[in-house]
Structure 1
C-alpha cells in the first residue's frame, strides 16, 4: 500500500511540474541556447535638480545640472543567464566643440535565475550644463558624475517574460503581466576639480518599490510592453539621512522574426527628496532604438560558460 501511495504521489507531482512547464512554454519562447547581440543608438539624460529657498526669499531658486553629451552608442551581448552592455559617445555623435571635451560611458550587466533578476549599472559622465532658471546656460567641463546602481527584482508570474523587455533571449507569445518586487541601491558622486567651483558631493540611496509590468502581444511578430513602480527608502547626502521616494517607468515596442529583433523603448527613474527649504531630484532617462540578432554560440564559449557556471 505504501508503495502504491508513493507511486501515485510521484505521478501527480511529475504531472503538475510538466503542466507548469507546458503553461510557461505556451506563453514564452526561449532563446537561452543562442548568443544574443544587439546595437542601439540611445538618447540619455542623467540630470540633477536642486531647489533651495532662503528665509527672506518668496520664490525658490532652482539649479539644473544636465550632461552636455546626451547621445550614446550601446552594444549588448547576452548568453543564457548573463547579459552585458557597454555604451559611449563616439566623435560622430558630438555635434559641437564643447562636446569634444565631454565624456559619457555606461556599463551594465544583468543576471537572471528563475524568478530572480539582478542588474548592475555604472554611468560615468563629464561635462555639464548648469541652468539657473535664466536664458543663459553655463558649461562646466570639469564637473563629472559617477553613478553605480544595483537592482534586485522578483517576478511573481511564470507566464510573464521579464527578459522580453530587458534581456532579449525570450519572447512573449501570449499577453501576460506580473507584479514585481524591487530593491534598488545607488551610489552617486558629483565632483569638480575646478579651483573656482570645487564640488564633491556623495549620495547613497536604497529604496523598495512594488511594480507591475505587462506584455501586450499584438501578433506573433509585434508586442508592446512596459510598466511602472513607485517606492520609498532612505538616502544619505553628504552624511545627512532623509526619506527618499522613487518613481520608475518603462515602455517598449518590439518586433521579432526568428533570430532578428528590433525595439524602440523608453526607461526612466527619478528620485525625490524634499526639505523645508530645499529639494533634490535626480532623474535618469533613456530613449533608444535597438536592432539585434541571435547566433548559435561558438563551442569554445559553451565550454567556458559551463566551466564557470
Structure 2
C-alpha cells in the first residue's frame, strides 16, 4: 500500500535567507514610474483576496494489473490573502469554512490545508519561497475497491493521517524589459502596451509525504529539481483591461527516499526519477489606479514513470478569482522601507 500512497506533486532552503538579505541590500528601483509601456505601483500597498478551485489530486496507475488509485483532499475551494509592497510580497492560504466548502465531510472525511508564500523582486529577477501542508485524503475511485458502494450514500475510503508537506523555491528571470510579469501575476504593475517574454524558471523543492494508519507507517522524502522555459504574452485591449496567455513545459529530476515500517520491520528504498510537466493558462484582468480584479484558468499536467509498468500522474484544471485594492501606506511603513526619503 505504501507504493500507492507515497507519491505526490508539491513544491525552502537556507538560500532563501540569503536571498532576503540580498534583496534588502541590492534593491534600488524607483516607485510609481510612468513610462510609455509600464506603470509601477510598488509604492502602494496592495491587499488582495484569491479564491481558487485547485486540489492536489494524485493518480497512480499500474498498467500490468490494469489498476488505478486516485487520491484527493476534501477541499473544493481555497482562499489566499496577500499583501504586496515595494519589492516584497506575502500570501497566506487556507480552506474557508464557508459557502459549503467542505459540507460533505461525512462522506469524504476532513482535510486541512495551509500555505505560506513569499516573493522578492530585484529588477528582472523574481525569487519565490513557499511552505504548504495538506492533511487528510479520500479515494475518489472508491467504487473500484468497494463492490456495492453507492456514490452520495456510502462514505469514500479515507486516509485521515495521510499528510503532504512541501518546502519550495523558484527563481525566475524576465528576458524582455518591456513585458510586465508583475502585472499578470502580482498586479503591482500595469502594462500599457501589448508584449510577451520568455521567463526561464528554476524550481527546487523538498517534500515529505507521510502515512500512519492501519499498522503501517510510511514516509517518503524527495527533492525535486526542474527547469521550465516559460513563455507569457499579454494583449492590452483597453486602458484598463488585458488578456494574457502562457505555456510552460518543463523537465526535471526527483530524488526519492522511501521509508516504510510494518510489523516492526523497516524498509528503505532510494530511487531517482525523471519528471515531465506542461502547464498553460489564460488570464483576463482589470486594473485601475486603486481597484484590480480578474479571473485565471489554468491547466496543469505532470507525470513520471516509476518503472516500465507503473506511473504517477497529476492532471489539474482549475480557476482563480481575485480582487484587490491599492492604497497609500502609513508614514511609518514608508520610513521602514525608505528611511532616507520618506517625509
TM-score (norm 1): 0.84
Task: Please tell me whether residue 281 in structure 1 is matched to residue 313 in structure 2.
Answer: yes
Q: Secondary structure at the match of 1:271?
A: strand
**How many residues were matched structurally?**
281
Query: Which is further off, 225-234 or 281-290?
Result: 281-290
Query: Against the structure 1 CA distance between its residues 192 and 64, is the aligned structure 2 distance closer, same or farther, given a 3 Å change threshold?
Result: same
Measure the CA separation in 1 of the matches of 2:209 and 2:331.
44
**Kept in 1: contact 2:168–2:204 (CA 8 A):** yes
Deviations 1:90-111 (A, max 9, x none): 3223213347732111111111
Task: Please tell me whether residue 82 in structure 1 is matched to residue 116 in structure 2.
Answer: no
Q: Secondary structure at the match of 2:54?
A: strand
Task: Give 2:256's aligned residue.
Answer: 237
Measure the CA separation in 2 of the matches of 1:235 and 1:155.
26
**Structure 1 residue 210 displacement after superposition:** 0.8
State the superposition RMSD in angstroms.
2.2
- State how 1:257-296 maps to structure 2 within 5 Å: 257-274=288-305, 275-283=307-315, 286-296=318-328
Query: Against the structure 1 CA distance between its residues 120 and 283, is the aligned structure 2 distance closer, same or farther, given a 3 Å change threshold?
Result: farther
**Kept in 1: contact 2:200–2:228 (CA 8 A):** yes
Task: Give 1:96's aligned residue.
Answer: 104
**Structure 1 residue 151 displacement after superposition:** 1.2
Task: Please tell me whether residue 220 in structure 1 is matched to residue 230 in structure 2.
Answer: no
Measure the CA separation in 1 of the matches of 2:42 and 2:138.
43
Task: Please tell me whether residue 209 in structure 1 is matched to residue 218 in structure 2.
Answer: no
Query: Which is further off, 187-196 or 238-247?
Result: 187-196
Measure the CA separation in 1 of the matches of 2:217 and 2:321.
37
Task: Give 1:247's aligned residue.
Answer: 278
Q: Secondary structure at the match of 1:192?
A: strand
Q: Secondary structure at the match of 1:168?
A: coil
Task: Give 1:38's aligned residue.
Answer: 48
Measure the CA separation in 2 of the matches of 1:163 and 1:190.
32
Between Structure 1 and Structure 2, the one with more strand by share is: 1
Q: Secondary structure at the match of 2:214?
A: coil
**Structure 1 residue 113 displacement after superposition:** 1.0
Query: Against the structure 1 CA distance between its residues 258 and 111, is the aligned structure 2 distance closer, same or farther, given a 3 Å change threshold?
Result: same
Query: Which is further off, 127-136 or 79-88?
Result: 127-136
Unpaired stretches in structure 2, ≥5 consecutive residues: 1-32, 150-155, 258-269
Measure the CA separation in 1 of the matches of 2:34 and 2:166.
36
**Kept in 1: contact 2:275–2:302 (CA 8 A):** yes
**Structure 1 residue 131 displacement after superposition:** 3.5
Which structure has the larger Rg over C-alpha atoms? Answer: 1
Measure the CA separation in 1 of the matches of 2:281 and 2:208.
25
**Kept in 2: contact 1:91–1:100 (CA 8 A):** no
Unpaired stretches in structure 1, ≥5 consecutive residues: 1-22
- State how 1:91-240 maps to structure 2 within 5 Å: 91-92=97-98, 93-98=101-106, 101-132=110-141, 134=143, 137-238=156-257, 239-240=270-271
Task: Please tell me whether residue 297 in structure 1 is matched to residue 324 in structure 2.
Answer: no
Measure the CA separation in 2 of the matches of 1:77 and 1:50.
37
Between Structure 1 and Structure 2, the one with more helix by share is: 1
